[in-house]
Structure 1
């Protein structure tokens, strides 16, 4: 049987590994990089446990998705005497469990090689190893390998990333690709291209590009247009790509994740040849926390992670991440997707299903994943680190883009048929009005009305960018804390002192009686029926989905705080503006009910054109 070097034992030096070393190795002593000799030093006597998120081997999933039959560990060690113990994690393992007898090496100033077959039983979800040292030991060139049935699948691999003025992230990732993938000597280096679609046209394309890394200056067509450009480039390159990995620009990534993705593709079983591989999103600022690896659309019309949050420095969570079974609430509707912060798609699937919709940003990846209905493969060690959503909340995205794009997608390709996006629209408008977020409620209606214009509107080149820019201008504008304090004083808001505000206060709420709940429901916080001017102020979080019902009731002013970015805004209760928005919404609903059947037919009829290469080449000005 042929053998493949599947996964390197990964040790790297970056802000994530320095802050969260237990993602790589849980050590009783210091583990230091020796750059001069390209090795790592286990400096002190003790146990170095590599049964971790990055350095355990996901044997259960490899047995399911690939033709792997046997598994091996290769270690190269130098220095003091060591004992190497294989470990495994079963479904209920809270800690690594030893397997078999340890392998021992005597002290040596020469490099010693240890190769052994890993023992896999029916209970094994992941396997790993521990090294117990008697003193200083160096490690290098260590990896897991697999014996597999059949031949290697031919893979021509493309990495495509879309960027808009994120030079520091992109240039760093290009450097990592050139050094650790193209310069690695591994098989992937001979079958790899990277396309950087520069929507901001700020990168030095000539300086950054070479035979394998190509920077393409592009129109500002959002993530949807940028990734579509990457798909077209992958389909038209020579040799044609077999798989394309879509990856966000503002992420940190380990090149080892990309190498493992490539290796996985080479040994997939035939029935998984058209599967998508989904990389997890780890929190950029809390690097051990996994936020999502796949998502799904809820019945209420919201995006949600399929798994609960996990802390990947905990062994039990590393195991749980691999054995998690989707609950029936998710599987019954087949509305699951892989986000495009790290999603590898077969080119054959793109040819069969067509290209994405021209919706600029938000919902493009979810729509495409649900449309394609392919197996989604996830695996420990395949991931990126991305800024969490709560630190970059943008009403132009969440209230305009999300509202419009989910409705367009549902009508055009049948996206998420069991999700009620009209319910979500109504809920968001009601929520914003209760919190005096009139500008953001109007964004919801802008989105709804643009959807009601039909496919001819969104299909025009330039419209997606123009409407997003318009939404950013119309959304509630935040100011710095110093200006916020000045505005509060000009409005004679008694008692507000930003220097005394804490996160505890911003995120707090208080209970309501049943009568108060009924009153708030009936009056929308005193803005209809029994109207009140309100009095005093409350401090609330910026996040649109937050509803601190107890603290906002009866207030005249609501001061929204984005504590992470140290900005805020003052909302003033305005029953007249509330009434204008409600009347506008009622007019829109009347038009919607009268025309929705026609709109659904028009959007569905536009699908072949909107997802075609011909349309997109014209849209992207490629011809």
Structure 2
């Protein structure tokens, strides 16, 4: 039977590996990289456990999804005497458990090669190994090898990343991929191409492009347009791609994740040939924390991670990550894989069409639910991404999300169980209670643009124009210094930015039942019984926060984005509140009388909006 080097034993020198080494190896000794040879040394006598997120082998998922029949651990070692112990993690394992007898490795001044047959029982979710050393031991060229039933699938993998003025991220990722994939000598090097769709047109095409990497200057058509351009490029390259990997620009990636994705594609069982492979989102700032590993749309119309938050330096979380089963309340038809790392078969794109022209937000969720394919996840397939609270943008969350979810549901049947009208109502009420009038108006801008029908969103330039408009109309933040000046000019006594901390920003106060009822019926003193309010409260920027006790009865709300050291001052304005409500009621009246027509128009527009002909014209590729 043929064999494949499926996963390299991974040791890296990156900010994530240096800050969170237990993602790679749990050790009571130091691991050092030789600057000359590039080889790694287990520097001290001690125990080095590679049964980790990146260096364990996901045998349960390999048995489910692939034609792998057996596996070997290939090690190349040099130095002091050592013992190699195979390990495993079962469903209820709290730590790595030994399997079989250890292998003794004598000390040697030359490289020794070991090929150890992996023992895999029915209880094993992951397998790994521990090296116990009596002194310094060097390790190189080590990997897991799989024996496969049948021939390898022919795979041509393309990677598409869309960028807009994020040169530092993109140039770093290009360099990593050139060094660790194209110069690796592995099979992927001859069957992989990287497309960088440059919506900002700021990258140096001549400097960065070569036979493996294509920089494609593009109009600013958002992530949806950029990724669609990448799909088209991949379909029409000289040797057409079989699969395309979509990846965000502002991420840190381990090239090993891409290698494993390629190897996984080559050995999938036929029933999973049209599956999507989804990479997890790890927190860029706290690199051991997993934020999302596939998501789903809630009944209330919000995006939600399918899994609870996990800390991947914890052994039990590494196992849990592999055995997680979707709860009954998460329906398959509501589930999606985000495009920060998502590998899609080209055959699926040809069957289901191209994405919707919605610029940013919901494009990936809509496409995942539209295609309804198996979503494959696996330890070691991931990127590190800035967390959402760090980059909260009302133009995205209040305008783009509101409009695009409604367009998607009417056009392709996206998230049929989700009530996006409920989400609209909830967001408007929430913003009004917090005096976020500009952001409530963004929700209505989005709603009204949805009500214009598919002919509006299909126009060239509209997607960018509306996003830029939303960015101009959203609540504008100022520096902390300017915020202090504004507070003094407005006569807000007692506010000193130097005395503000996260505890105050994120805090709240309790309310009685009567107070809760008053706040609900009056929208924090803005209807029926109107009050001017007095004093101020400090609250967080993120739109979904609702510190109800802190804000009640206040005249001023000082909104703090502590991460970016910016803020804004909101002033209670019952007249503006009433204007927004009247506008909302007018929009609802129009919606109720036209929604059936709109649903029909959007549905009829689906073949056009997702067609190759439409997109080539939209992107000026003809």
Q: For 2:345 and 2:517, how far apart are their aligned partners in 1?
A: 53
1:38 Cα deviation (Å)?
A: 2.4
In structure 1, the residue matched to 2:569 is 570
Structure 1, residues 119-150: CA drift from partner, whole Å, max 9, x if none?
A: 00000000000000000110000000000101
Report the 3-state secondary structure (helix = DSSP H, G, I; strand = E; otherwise coil) of the residue aligned with 2:534: coil
Q: For 1:369 and 1:334, how far apart are their aligned partners in 2?
A: 9
In structure 2, the residue matched to 1:19 is 19
Q: For 2:33 and 2:557, how far apart are their aligned partners in 1?
A: 52
Map of 1:218-617 to 2, 5 A cutoff?
A: 218-331=218-331, 334-617=333-616
Equivalent residue pairs, number: 622
In structure 1, the residue matched to 2:195 is 195
Q: For 1:285 and 1:589, how far apart are their aligned partners in 2?
A: 42
1:293 Cα deviation (Å)?
A: 1.0
Report the 3-state secondary structure (helix = DSSP H, G, I; strand = E; otherwise coil) of the residue aligned with 2:124: coil
In structure 1, the residue matched to 2:126 is 126
1:203 Cα deviation (Å)?
A: 0.2
In structure 2, the residue matched to 1:71 is 71
Report the 3-state secondary structure (helix = DSSP H, G, I; strand = E; otherwise coil) of the residue aligned with 1:125: strand
1:580 Cα deviation (Å)?
A: 0.1
Structure 1, residues 271-296: CA drift from partner, whole Å, max 9, x if none?
A: 00000000000000000000001000
Map of 1:133-152 to 2, 5 A cutoff?
A: 133-152=133-152
Structure 1, residues 67-126: CA drift from partner, whole Å, max 9, x if none?
A: 000011000000000000000000000100000000011100010011111000000000
Report the 3-state secondary structure (helix = DSSP H, G, I; strand = E; otherwise coil) of the residue aligned with 1:560: strand
Q: For 2:135 and 2:90, how far apart are their aligned partners in 1?
A: 31
1:212 Cα deviation (Å)?
A: 1.3
Q: For 2:211 and 2:566, how far apart are their aligned partners in 1?
A: 45
1:35 Cα deviation (Å)?
A: 3.0
Report the 3-state secondary structure (helix = DSSP H, G, I; strand = E; otherwise coil) of the residue aligned with 1:328: coil
Q: For 1:392 and 1:369, how far apart are their aligned partners in 2?
A: 24
Q: For 2:319 and 2:609, how far apart are their aligned partners in 1?
A: 42
Q: For 1:236 and 1:463, how far apart are their aligned partners in 2?
A: 27
Q: Structure 2: which 5+ residue stretches go unaligned?
A: none
Q: For 2:538 and 2:357, how far apart are their aligned partners in 1?
A: 38
1:316 Cα deviation (Å)?
A: 0.2
Report the 3-state secondary structure (helix = DSSP H, G, I; strand = E; otherwise coil) of the residue aligned with 1:7: strand
TM-score (norm 2): 1.00
Report the 3-state secondary structure (helix = DSSP H, G, I; strand = E; otherwise coil) of the residue aligned with 2:93: coil
TM-score (norm 1): 1.00
1:211 Cα deviation (Å)?
A: 1.0
Structure 1, residues 570-607: CA drift from partner, whole Å, max 9, x if none?
A: 00000000000000000000000000000000000000
Q: For 2:32 and 2:159, how far apart are their aligned partners in 1?
A: 31
Q: Structure 1: which 5+ residue stretches go unaligned?
A: none
